[in-house]
């Protein structure tokens, strides 16, 4: 059973409206937004990444889901796999730093001891009156993205090659777009964060909205090779649908258009080009 098949099976159990059919970044219960993300050693962080950075990334990726709903952080619950005393101590220091940086209280959680790769989970809770889904794009809407795409992918490549560079910070310590999300939430038709790769996440928004989507690769603000950038993931920028003529109160780039139909089309220099064999990150059994 693939990841997609497993989630499809879970949808038969997620019958409450707040679950949003497991097709969104978070659950919504009244004005509360709840999300849970895990990070696993060797998948989301490297064996020799500093524990302080692992703590930062764990919190930041969950806060990015709250940002995509325009939510203000309320608190979090931590699921922690114990390591050595020094590793645990350093993780706590990093956790203190990131929680203070984003004003999110730690409310509780659980600790375990396990063999094999370490994994950590966090449930983040936020509050908002206007949480957009990823399924609300309309035909004729433009697709927009905040920030620059591809820096984290370069950072990971540098680490794997044993090199140094400023992009490593983008991989280890992503910056959730909480302020931008709160501003955009009442104005957009759909919004999500870019976690698995711009192309695969944009395709998910189009599919959830029941629309076709074309993306102009030349319009995407990237660093390095553009095709590598839009499939690398770990950017944690905001991807959103809004009218093409809307004046936005935050910096963002218009990179595509939604239309009736289905599927993803990629353009370069005004002409359609083949989609990459892999659009982004997917967990495989």
Same domain assignment for residues 115 and 224: no
List helix spans (H) across the chain: 3-11, 51-68, 85-101, 151-161, 167-172, 178-184, 198-209, 226-232
Same domain assignment for residues 116 and 63: yes
The predicted-structure confidence for 90-147, as pLDDT tens digits, reads as follows 999 999 999 999 999 999 999 999 887 889 999 999 999 999 999 999 999 999 999 9
Same domain assignment for residues 96 and 184: no
Q: Is the pLDDT of residue 12 over 80?
A: no
Same domain assignment for residues 122 and 176: no
Average pLDDT of the residues of the chain? 93
Same domain assignment for residues 164 and 265: yes
Last residue of a domain, one of 127, 155, 181: 127
Same domain assignment for residues 155 and 117: no
Same domain assignment for residues 164 and 260: yes
Asked whether 141 and 189 are in contact (CB, 8 A), the reply is yes
How many of the other CB atoms lie within 10 Å of CB of 63? 30
Query: Does any domain span residue 282?
Result: no
CB-side neighbour CA atoms (13 Å) of 193: 29
pLDDT cut 90: percent of the chain above it: 84
Per-residue confidence (pLDDT) for residue 283, from 0 to 100: 52
- Residue 107 CA to residue 127 CA, distance in Å, equals 15
The predicted-structure confidence for 261-280, as pLDDT tens digits, reads as follows 999 999 999 999 999 999 98
Range of the domain at 62: 3-127
The two tokens of residue 79 are 């699921």
The predicted-structure confidence for 14-32, as pLDDT tens digits, reads as follows 778 777 776 788 999 999 9
Q: Is the pLDDT of residue 282 over 70?
A: no
User: Residue 52 is part of a domain; what is its CATH number?
Assistant: 3.30.1330.10
Query: Does any domain span residue 208?
Result: yes
Same domain assignment for residues 12 and 120: yes
Cα–Cα distance list, 150 to 3, 196, 270, 282 (Å)? 24, 11, 22, 17
Last residue of a domain, one of 127, 157, 180: 127
Asked whether 213 and 254 are in contact (CB, 8 A), the reply is no
What backbone torsions phi and psi does residue 275 show, to the nearest 5 degrees? Answer: -70, 145
Asked whether 223 and 229 are in contact (CB, 8 A), the reply is yes
Query: Does any domain span residue 280?
Result: no
Total domains, the chain: 2
Per-residue confidence (pLDDT) for residue 182, from 0 to 100: 98
The predicted-structure confidence for 136-178, as pLDDT tens digits, reads as follows 999 999 999 999 999 999 999 999 999 999 999 999 999 999 9
pLDDT band at 6 (very low <50, low <70, confident <90, very high): confident
């Amino acid at each position: 059973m693939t990841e997609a098949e497993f989630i499809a099976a879970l949808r038969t159990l997620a019958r409450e409206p707040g679950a949003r059919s497991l097709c969104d970044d978070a659950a919504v219960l009244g004005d509360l937004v709840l999300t849970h993300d895990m990070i696993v050693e060797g998948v989301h962080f490297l064996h020799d990444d500093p524990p302080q950075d692992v703590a930062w990334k764990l919190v930041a990726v969950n806060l990015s889901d709250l940002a995509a709903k325009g939510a203000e952080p309320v608190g979090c619950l931590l699921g922690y796999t114990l390591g050595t005393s020094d590793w645990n101590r350093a993780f706590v220091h990093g956790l203190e730093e990131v929680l203070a940086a984003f004003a999110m209280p730690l409310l509780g959680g659980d600790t375990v001891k396990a063999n094999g790769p370490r994994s950590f989970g966090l449930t983040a809770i936020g509050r908002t009156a206007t949480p957009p889904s990823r399924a609300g794009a309309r035909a004729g809407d433009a697709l927009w993205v905040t920030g620059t795409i591809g820096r984290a992918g370069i950072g990971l490549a540098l680490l794997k090659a044993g090199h140094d560079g400023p992009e490593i910070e983008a991989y280890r310590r992503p910056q959730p777009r909480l302020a931008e999300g709160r501003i955009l939430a009442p104005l957009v038709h759909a919004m999500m964060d870019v976690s698995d790769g711009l192309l695969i996440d944009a395709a998910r928004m189009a599919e959830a909205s029941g629309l076709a989507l074309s993306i102009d690769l030349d319009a995407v603000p990237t660093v390095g090779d553009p095709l590598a950038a839009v499939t690398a993931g770990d950017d944690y920028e905001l991807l959103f649908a809004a009218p093409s003529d809307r004046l936005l109160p935050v910096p963002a780039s218009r990179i595509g258009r939604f239309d009736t139909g289905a599927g993803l089309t990629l353009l370069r220099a005004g002409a359609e080009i083949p989609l990459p064999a892999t659009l982004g990150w997917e967990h495989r059994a």
